[in-house]
Amino acid sequence: MIGILRATCKIFAVSTLLITFIAHSFAVSANTPDNVLVVGQIAEPKSLDPATVTAVNDFRILMNMYDGLVRYKSGSLEVEPALAKSWEISNGGTTYTFTLKSGIKFHDGSNLDADAVKFNFDRMLDESHPYHDTGPFPLSFFFSAIEKVEVISSDKIKFTLNAPYAPFLSNLAYPTGLIASPEAIKKSGKDFGRNPVGTGAFKFNSWKANEAVIVDKNLNYWDGVAKSDAIIFRPITDGNTRVAEMLSGGLDMMVEVPPVSLSEFSGSEFSIVEQAGPHVWFLILNAKEGPFANKLVRQAANYAINKTAIVEDVLEGTAAVAAGPTPPAFAWAYNNSLSPYPYDPAKAKSLLKEAGVTNAKLTFYVTQGGSGMLDPVAMGTAIQADLSAVGFDVEIKTFEWNTFLGEVNPGLEGKADMAEMAWMTNDPDTLPYLALRTGAWPDKGGFNSGYYSNPEVDKLLEAARSSTDQAERASLYQKMQTIVQDDAPWVFVANWKQNAVTTDKVKNFSLQPSFFLILKDVSK
Amino acid sequence: MLSYILKRIFSAIPVLLGVTLIVYFIISLIPGDPATAILGSFATPENVKILNSQLGLDKPIWQRYFIWLYNILQGDFGRSFSLNRPVIDEILERFNATIILSGTSFVICSILGILFGILSAAYQYSFIDKLITFIVLVGISIPSFFLGMMLILYFAVSVRWFPVSGMYSLYGGGGLWDLINHLVMPSITLSLVALGVIARLVRSSMLEVLRLDYIKTARAKGVKETRVILSHALRSAIITILPILGLQAGFVLSGSVYIEIVFQWPGIGRMLVDAILTRDIMLVQGGVLFIALCYVLFNILVDILQLWLDPRLLRK
What secondary structure does DSSP assign to B7-48, as a single string? HHHHHHHHHHHHHHHHHHHHHHHSS--HHHHHHGGG--HHHH
Mean pLDDT score of chain A:
90
Residue-wise pLDDT for B231-240, tens only, equals: 888 888 888 8
Reply yes or no on whether the pLDDT at A28 is more than 60: no
Residue A181: predicted pLDDT:
96
A403 contact B CB<8A? yes
pLDDT at B81 over 60: yes
Q: A214 to chain B: which residues are within 8 Å by CB?
A: 170
Contact list, A174 vs chain B (CB under 8 Å): none
Contacts of B271 (CB under 8 A, 6+ apart): A209, A210, B90, B91, B94, B283, B287
Is the pLDDT confidence value at A421 over 60? yes
Closest Cα in chain B to A448: B44
Q: Which fold has domain A279-498?
A: Dipeptide-binding Protein; domain 3 (3.10.105)
Candidates 3.40.190.10, 1.25.40.340, 3.40.50.2300, 2.40.30.10; correct CATH number of A1-46+57-63+200-252+505-524? 3.40.190.10
Chain B nearest CA to A59, separation (Å): 14
Q: Which of B31, B171, B264 sits opposite A241 (nearest CB)?
A: B264
Closest chain B residue to A46 measured between Cα atoms? B83
Long-range contacts of the stretch B48-54 (C-beta < 8 A, 24+): B51/A136, B51/A138, B54/A135, B54/A136
Rg of the Cα trace of chain B?
24
First vs last Cα of chain A: how many Å apart? 60
Band of residue A2 on the pLDDT scale cut at 50, 70, 90: low
Q: Name residues 174-213 of chain A within 8 A of B (Cβ).
A: 190-191, 193-194, 208-212
* Mean pLDDT, range B42-59, rounded to an integer: 77
- Give the highest mean pLDDT range of A361-370, A395-404, A419-428, A448-457: A448-457
- Residue A22's pLDDT is 60
Cβ pair A248:B160 closer than 8 A: yes
What are the residue ranges of CATH 3.40.190.10 in chain A?
1-46+57-63+200-252+505-524
Residue B274 sits at the chain A interface (C-beta within 8 Å): yes
Are A26 and B47 inside 8 Å of each other by CB? no
pLDDT single digits (tens) A485-507 = 999 999 999 999 888 999 999 99
pLDDT above 90 for A305: yes
Among B54, B65, B57, residue whose Cα is nearest residue B289:
B65
Find all residues with CB under 8 Å of A175, minimum gap 6, and list them: A50, A53, A58, A59, A62, A63, A66, A68, A516
Dist. CA A275–CA A327, nearest whole Å: 12
The answer to whether the Cβ–Cβ distance between B165 and A1 falls below 8 Å is no
Compute the average pLDDT of residues B78-98.
85
Confidence check: pLDDT of B44 > 80: no
So what's the pLDDT on residue B25? 84
Alpha carbon of A193: minimum distance to chain B alpha carbons (Å): 8
Whether B94 sits inside 8 A of A447 (CB atoms) is no
Cα B285 from Cα B17, distance rounded (Å): 11
- Chain B residues lying within 8 Å of A27, measured CB to CB: 160-161
Task: In whole angstroms, give the CA distance from residue B255 to residue A476.
Answer: 57
A376 touches chain B (CB under 8 A): no
- For residue A444, name the pLDDT band (cuts at 50, 70, 90): confident
Residue A20: pLDDT band with limits 50, 70, 90: low
Delimit the CATH 3.10.105.10 region(s) of chain A.
279-498
Which of B50-59, B84-93, B134-143 has the least mean pLDDT?
Answer: B50-59
Residue A454: which H helix or E strand, with range?
A: none
Provide the pLDDT confidence category of residue A30 given band limits of 50, 70 and 90. low
pLDDT of residue A94: 93
List residues bridging with A507 in a β-sheet: A523
A322-349 confidence digits (pLDDT tens): 999 999 999 899 999 999 999 999 999 9
Using CB atoms and an 8 Å cut-off, which of residues 60-79 of chain A contact chain B? none
Interface check for A402 against chain B (CB to CB < 8 A): the answer is yes
Nearest Cα neighbor of A62 from A192, A188, A208, A169 is A192
- CA dist B167 → A211, B41, B108, B178, B268 (Å): 8, 34, 18, 8, 13
Which of A280 and B230 is assigned the larger pLDDT? Answer: A280
Contact B278, B82 (CB under 8 A): yes
Asked whether this complex has an ipTM greater than 0.90, the answer is: no
What percentage of chain B reaches a pLDDT higher than 70? Answer: 98
Res. A221: pLDDT tops 60: yes
Compute the nearest-CA separation of B144 from chain A (Å): 14
Which chain A residue shows the shortest CA-CA distance from B171?
A33
Cβ–Cβ < 8 Å for B104, B187? yes
> How many whole angstroms separate alpha carbon A55 and alpha carbon A371?
8
Topology classification of domain A66-190: Dipeptide-binding Protein; domain 1 (3.90.76)
Which of A241-250, A376-385, A478-487 has the weakest average pLDDT? Answer: A241-250
Q: CATH 3.90.76.10 occupies which residues in chain A?
A: 66-190
Between residues A402 and B16, which one has the greater pLDDT?
A: B16
Residues on chain A touching B225 (C-beta within 8 angstroms):
1
Q: Does B220 touch chain A (CB under 8 A)?
A: no
Please check whether residue A524 is in contact with residue A506, taking contact to mean a CB–CB distance below 8 angstroms. Answer: yes
Q: What percent of chain A has pLDDT over 90?
A: 68
Domains identified in chain B and CATH numbers: 2-73 (no CATH), 89-303 (1.10.3720.10)
Q: Do A136 and B54 lie within an 8 Å CB cutoff?
A: yes
Collapsing DSSP states into helix, strand and coil, what is residue A277? Answer: coil
What pLDDT, on a 0 to 100 scale, did the predictor assign at position A226?
95
Q: Which of A335, A332, A311 is nearest to A321 (CA)?
A: A311
Asked if A230 reaches chain B (Cβ–Cβ under 8 Å), the answer is no
- Sequence-ordered list of residues with C-beta below 8 angstroms from that of B194, at least 6 positions apart, any chain: B105, B106, B109, B113, B248, B251, B252, B255
